[in-house]
Chains A and B, each alone.
Chain A
Amino acid sequence: MTVRLAVRDIEKSFGGVQAVRGVSFDVHEGEILGVIGPNGSGKSTLFNCILGQLLPGKGTVAVDGRDVTGLRPSELNRLGVSRTFQLLQVFPRLTARENLILAGQEHRGSRIGRLFGASDAGLGAEADRMLEFFRLGALADELAGSLSYGQQKLLDAAMAFMAGSRLVLLDEPAGGVNPTMLAGLRDRLTAINREARATFVVIEHNMEFVMALCTRLIVLAEGRIIAEGTPAEVRANPAVIEAYLGH
């Protein structure tokens, strides 16, 4: 199976605090990998190192066999890697449709071509389709800032897919989302994974959500991988129970 993302020996320190300590793992095409761990275990730092938001102190990141360590997030995005953030990151003064168009427009033609082309960069219909897919169709013309928290979370996730990315990293997509909407989000992510063979890496605290969504999990504690396996294997792992519950 093709390796979509290869993370090798990533380390990252902040002053005297070593947030990530030699983390290595592969993510295969079409896989949904969950990254779990207690607060402060280094999950978000690891994400930021993978996605170019932080430069790792050591180690490499490769996407489809190409070394992308240290590339800027915009460059990574143009290579087909998208992300969502732990905190909501929509554009509140743009409509829901415009948020989605923005998420895809930089992948359409040249920059000069976009200046002289259509206002929606030819993405209007695709944005509407994506909004329908995430059950936000009725809110297309509403300002993103006026949507409910759960709706903004869905919009945030939808934006990650507008560029047709093959690898999407989701940072706590379930955080603060009500159970009904959460089921919808899980359902949509599963559908995209199945239909578009999109590969996901998901950081999540909601165990029910992550166990139902992910095909494989890695568990971080104090910046290291302490367990890896299927959701059932991880759930039964004593090291994981100890990391979460302590002594």
Chain B
Amino acid sequence: MSTQRALLTGLGLLIVLALVPADLTGLGIPYPGLKRYGTYILTLWLVTAIAAMGVNLIVGYAGQETLAQAAFVGIGAYLTAITQKYGMPFGVSFVASGLVTFVIGIALGFPALRVQKHYLAFVTLAFSVLCWLVFRNESAITGGVMGIRDIERPILFGLKLRNAQNFYWFVLAIASVMTFVLWWILRSPWGRAFTALRENPLRAESLGVDVRLYTLLAFALGSAYGGMAGSLYAPLVEFIDPSPFALGPSLLFMLMVVVGGSGTFAGPFVGAAIAVLLPEWLRAWETWYLLIYAFLVMVLMAVFPGGIVGLLSRLLSPRRRA
């Protein structure tokens, strides 16, 4: 897709997403918008997609493994919740979450220079468990299993974001900027270098690509996306405890990337929709919904191993099926 077409597509999607929760009946359009819960779920989808974008960078583009993204979301969420309690402006907490997780991401990237595939997955898994134990056991800082409650939503230039719609637009704006930044990185020579890591690190190194540096960069950037997603997650849910940052959610992030389309730009958004929105739509089946959800995911993986976006790409460009 050309740069101009990609930007126009992104802008079009942004406008549609901005209008989704809005009541358009005043404009003569018979669309009443979303209720509070619907807007909350849509905001959660955006936050989840940001974290999944980070996993997609690490796993889908750079060909590494991570089962630690929920831990990074947790670090960002706790950092924001704690600093907010001390009166820190949200903007500072948000940037700090990104920077701290960027640095920790570099540290977590070092094992990737020595071990690969499932060995690396286990290293990140261990980190994930370690973080969860800290969140649960360091009660004096994190509130332990009781968590941290009453996390304030930010005020932006005097505009209170307590309202679900306002907060949704705020998150949409941040998600748009972060999507653009990642798109820019991936369309630059850096993106090609990340892909080279995934495809053939030996050859990449022989062509002058500093495999070590780009591996660490992928982990750092991907983890920072997790941290910043966590920073948005805390004021969204207004209460955090350790459970959303355990190993299970990290596996879910991996699932989102794989189901959406690993190494495709839109994959994390589609995967996050499957993980966040699909269960909500299936709630009509009450207690059966988890079974149906699991079955759908298994069918998706068995029939379309390249993920939903991968499948669509193949259908749209049959010449590239090989």
A interface with B by C-beta (< 8 Å): 51, 53, 72-74, 77-78, 82-83, 85, 89-94, 98, 101-103, 105-108, 111, 114-117, 119-121, 142-143, 145-146, 159, 163
Docked CA distance A15–B169 (Å): 63
Number of interface residues of B (CB under 8 A): 26
A117 to B263, CA, bound (A): 23
Contact A74 B192 (CB under 8 A): no
Tell me which residues across on chain B come within 8 A of A145, comparing CB atoms.
322
Which residues in chain B, 187-202, are within 8 Å of chain A measured between CB atoms?
187-190, 192-193, 195-196, 199-200, 202
**CB atoms of A114 and B188 under 8 A apart:** yes
Tell whether, in the assembled complex, residue A159 and residue B187 are in contact, meaning their CB atoms are under 8 Å apart: no
Q: Are B202 and A102 within 8 A (Cβ)?
A: no
Query: Do the beta carbons of B192 and A98 come within 8 Å of each other?
Result: yes
Q: Is the interface of B mostly helix, strand, loop or mixed?
A: helix
A228 to chain B, nearest CB (A): 27
A108 to chain B: closest residue by CB: B189
Interfacial chain B residues near A92, Cβ < 8 Å:
199
Q: Which of B179-230 contact A (CB under 8 A)?
A: 185, 187-190, 192-193, 195-196, 199-200, 202-211, 213
A199 to chain B, nearest CB (A): 17
Contact pick for B211, options A74, A101, A116, CB 8 Å: A74
Interchain CA distance A92-B193 in the complex, whole Å: 14
A51 to B192, CA, bound (A): 23
Which of chain B's residues has its CB closest to A95's CB?
A: B320
| Pairs A–B under 8 Å by Cβ, sample size 11 | A74-B210, A77-B206, A77-B207, A90-B203, A94-B199, A102-B189, A106-B193, A116-B188, A119-B187, A120-B189, A142-B320
Nearest CB in chain A: distance from B203 CB, A: 4
Contact residues in A for B208 (Cβ distance below 8 Å): 74, 77-78, 106-107, 163
Set B189, B211, B213, B263: member contacting A119, Cβ < 8 A: B189
Distance to closest chain A CB from B113 (angstroms): 12
Given contacts A114-B189, A119-B187, A119-B188, contact A159 B207 (CB under 8 A): yes
Cα–Cα distance between A93 and B39 once the two chains are bound (Å): 38
Query: How long is the Cα–Cα vector from A85 to B203 in the complex, in angstroms?
Result: 8
Bound together, the chains give a CA A114 to CA B185 distance in angstroms of: 10
CA distance A78 to B213 in the complex (A): 15
From A93, A106, A117, name the one whose CB has the most chain B CB atoms within 10 angstroms: A106
Give the contacting residue for A73; candidates B195, B206, B213; CB below 8 A.
B206
Interface pair A102/B206, CB less than 8 Å apart: no
Contact, CB under 8 Å: A102 / B207: yes
Please measure, in the bound complex, the distance between the C-alpha atom of A120 and the C-alpha atom of B189, giving whole angstroms: 7
Q: Tell me if B3 and A119 are in contact (CB < 8 A).
A: yes
Shortest distance in angstroms between A151's beta carbon and chain B's nearest beta carbon?
12
| B residues near A106, Cβ cutoff 8 Å | 189, 193, 207-210
Closest 10 CB pairs of A and B: A106-B208, A77-B208, A146-B322, A89-B203, A91-B199, A114-B189, A105-B189, A73-B205, A73-B206, A121-B189
